[in-house]
Chains A and B, each alone.
Chain A
Amino acid sequence: MGALTDKYCIVGVGETPHMRPSNRTTLSMACEAVKKAMADAGLEPRDVDGMTSYQAGDSTTSNHVATSLGMRLNYSVDIFGGGSSTEALIGNTIGLLEAGYCKTMVIFRSMNGRSGRRMGGQAPSGPVPPTRAAEDNQFMMPWGWTSPAQRFGMSAMRYLRDTGTTTKSLAEIAVAHRYHASLNPKAVMRHPITIDDHQNSRWVVKPLRLLDCCLETDVSACLIVTSRERAYDLRQPPVFIMGGTGRTMAPNSAWNYSRPEIHYVAGNYGRNRLFGMAGISQKDVNLISCYDAFTFTTLIQLEAYGFCGKGEAGEFVKGGRLQIDHELPSNLSGGHLSEGYTHGVSMVIENVRQLRHRADDACPGWAEGTHSYDRQAGCRQVKDARIAACLGWGTETMSSSAILRGIAA
């Protein structure tokens, strides 16, 4: 176990509805998400003295959010990045709280991911100004190889070739996450899908189909972290941070493609640190969030983090193993594939709600932790949820993670 295991807790979560479009500024959405997270925790603006966020030149800053909400911060910083940032910032936060830079910290992401800046470029249907190819993009964009689907697709194709996995395994992930979204009133895509629906959906970039790709939505999402001592005084059952990693890299991180195996991803280099710090093994984990920018990113991280052997993920996901009431339920909110797109925060939020036994589902008593566990009636609370692994993804060569536990674990 790590020296700081269980010393810091996630005490508040909140988010805006997933919209397409929001017709709001990222500042306005961030203020709402932070307010909701404070209300969830039972905190006032004066109780928060640290704030951090991540963005890609597409969002507001901690400075503006704190000013709007009347906070005076003792620590604030906004970093560059997308996926893999959430868990990395949880790590930063633990260090800052431990060092005494601040006492209670907000982590947020706010993005008009559909109506504002979209990942990888512009849609061909819209106006198409010249696109600047600079830095490492000089050797991808001019070859029409720029969007995340196009980039990760190259590794996915080689993975299929090297392991004999078929796209039916990718379909299993799309089906599982959509099933969970069907139990989540907040999710954008709620109608259940089948393996055949996946196989019949149109190609985006082979080997990835439409139903392999996440949604793009406008949203802000927020976590609040503080010490265990403060957490016990707050409104919700605390969720303890057992361990984590922050943007762990594979070798040659800035150019995945000259590595011996382009699908031997960064989680392989982080998993022993993660489970070592948390003091548990994969078998102790009751549920996961496994970053689903694409079905493939979930698939490959299952083996990277040791939930199955190398090259075995295609078999591992079969038979609904990732669905609720099965062995390793994944992305209980529906994830980025089916709930909406937050660059990772929403997956951690869902794990927090699950570990509190307060998944915000159709059960009338969910806010008090009363669940029916009747999936037909719309309950999505995992029974006996005690430990959750959050497996963030930035690229093949960059991954962050966290292991959380609820009060009963």
Chain B
Amino acid sequence: MPGPIDYSKITITPDFDTVEWWMGTKEHKYLVRQCKDCGHKWFPPFPACNKCNSMDLDWFETAGTGVLHSYIVVTQPILGAFVEAVPYVVGLIELDDCHEADGSLVRVGGVMLDDEEDVAIGLPVTVEFEQTNEANIVVPRWKISGTADNTWKFSE
């Protein structure tokens, strides 16, 4: 498991488009935007539906499960908050319940709770919400939750 992340060194400033998303993490909900008119889902929460241009929007609470689509292993920290965390894996997660008939899908990023050795593209993952050292910030982390066929690992 990666080392601690010091969220006192990041100022997260939700805006009018995103404040409800950040409130959702405090209730352990992984939300994506959903169009009330056509049902399309997307993330990050841009303020209009890019399929039908509706701005009449809702939130969809995902199951917080998905498949690891890609990942990186950060060995050199760039931000002060992550100096103690390296090496850490950032996963790109394809959410299970946001696939649409026309092929549209939603992928989100997050810091894995697993180490590099345990991570592979194609594995199922699930969200875990983490209370940070900043009282107001709860962040979603992701954890490998099972096995799969046809996985792929980066090898040097």
| Residues on the B chain within 8 Å of A121, using CB | 78-79
- Identify A124's interface contact among B8, B83, B121, CB under 8 A: B83
Q: What 0/1 pattern do residues 2 to 28 of B give for CB contact below 8 A with A?
A: 000101111111110010001000000
Asked whether B103 is an interface residue with its Cβ less than 8 Å from the other chain, the reply is: yes
Of B9, B110, B116, the residue contacting A131 (CB under 8 A) is B9
Return A149 CB to nearest CB of chain B, in Å.
Answer: 8
A263 to B, closest residue via Cβ: B70
A196 at the interface (CB under 8 A from B): no
User: Which residue of chain B has its CB nearest to the CB of A151?
Assistant: B72
Which residue of the partner chain A has the closest CB to B72? A153
Given A131-B9, A203-B75, A255-B44, are A145 and B90 neighbors across the interface (CB < 8 Å)? yes
When each residue 218-240 of chain A gets 1 if its CB lies under 8 Å from chain B and 0 otherwise, what string results?
Answer: 00000000000000000000000
Considering the chains assembled together, what is the distance between the CA atoms of A124 and B84 in angstroms? 10
Name the residue of chain A whose CB is nearest to the CB of B79: A121
| B105 closest partner in A (C-beta) | A258
Query: Contact residue range for chain B?
Result: 35 or more
Give complex CA distance A161, B122 in Å: 11
Q: Measured between C-beta atoms, what is the minimum distance from B9 to chain A in Å?
A: 5
Q: Give CA–CA (A205, B87) in the complex, Å.
A: 9
List which B61-118 residues lie within 8 A (CB) of chain A.
Answer: 69-83, 85, 88, 90, 92, 103-111, 116
A74 touches B (CB below 8 Å): no
A203–B50 CA distance with the chains assembled, in angstroms: 38
Does B139 sit at the interface, judged by CB under 8 A? yes
Per the 8 Å Cβ criterion, residues 97-146 of A in contact with B are 120-124, 128-136, 138-146
Report which residue of A141, A145, A167 has the largest number of chain B beta carbons within 10 angstroms of its beta carbon.
A145
Q: Which residues of B contact A (CB under 8 A)?
A: 5, 7-15, 18, 22, 42-44, 46, 50, 69-83, 85, 88, 90, 92, 103-111, 116, 121, 137, 139, 152, 154, 156
By a beta-carbon cutoff of 8 Å, the part of chain A in contact with chain B is: 120-124, 128-136, 138-147, 150, 153-155, 157-158, 160-161, 167, 202-207, 252, 254-255, 257-258, 260, 262
